[in-house]
């Protein structure tokens, strides 16, 4: 193979559509713009979402909800994940190193999903009421 023999793959390149170049091209006269109207004129168009003066859809529908920008700093861990982790003492740093929570997480909470068999001591990690009961039943503690 030589640099001067390299060619693009078949079908990768195609000729640009040349409009307004005579009737033989199939795109002469109105050049694919149809007849008259705003869309046929140069410089004539409307803004995105414009419906000819009718109240646009995005204004007819009610505004609803929001997404908190603080959510990226919150994380949750299940009882099953804690059980599989197999550490006696768990803090936020240990969870980050194990990859159970994201690097940005500041507030971590244990939720009651699954079951816990080993005793685990939580420090700097919150827990829901159900998760706290499950952890204490397994012989652990929540600080």
pLDDT of residue 44: 86
Global pTM reads: 0.55
Model confidence at 1: pLDDT above 90? no
Domain positions in the chain: 16-46, 71-142
Band the pLDDT of 141: cuts 50, 70, 90: very high
CATH T-level fold of 71-142:
Ribosomal Protein L15; Chain: K; domain 2 (3.100.10)
Contact 121, 90 (CB under 8 A): yes
Give per-residue pLDDT as tens, 46-85: 899 999 999 999 999 999 999 999 899 999 999 999 999 9
d(CA 66, CA 59): 17
Residue whose pair of structure tokens reads 């193979």 in the numeric block:
1
Q: What is the DSSP string of 20-53?
A: SS-GGGT--TTTTS-SSSGGGSTT----TT-BTT
């Amino acid at each position: 193979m030589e640099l001067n023999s390299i060619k693009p793959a078949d079908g990768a390149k195609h000729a640009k559509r040349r409009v307004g170049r005579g009737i033989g091209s199939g795109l002469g006269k109105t050049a694919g713009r149809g007849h008259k109207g705003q869309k046929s004129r140069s410089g004539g168009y409307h803004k995105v979402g414009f419906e000819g003066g009718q109240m646009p859809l995005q204004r007819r529908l009610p505004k609803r909800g929001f997404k908190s920008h603080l959510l990226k700093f919150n994380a949750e861990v299940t009882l099953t994940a804690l059980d599989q982790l197999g550490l006696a003492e768990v803090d936020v740093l240990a969870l980050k190193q194990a990859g159970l929570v994201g690097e940005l997480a500041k507030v971590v909470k244990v939720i009651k999903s699954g079951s816990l068999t080993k005793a685990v001591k939580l420090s700097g990690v919150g827990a829901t009421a159900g998760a706290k009961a499950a952890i204490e039943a397994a012989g652990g503690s929540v600080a």
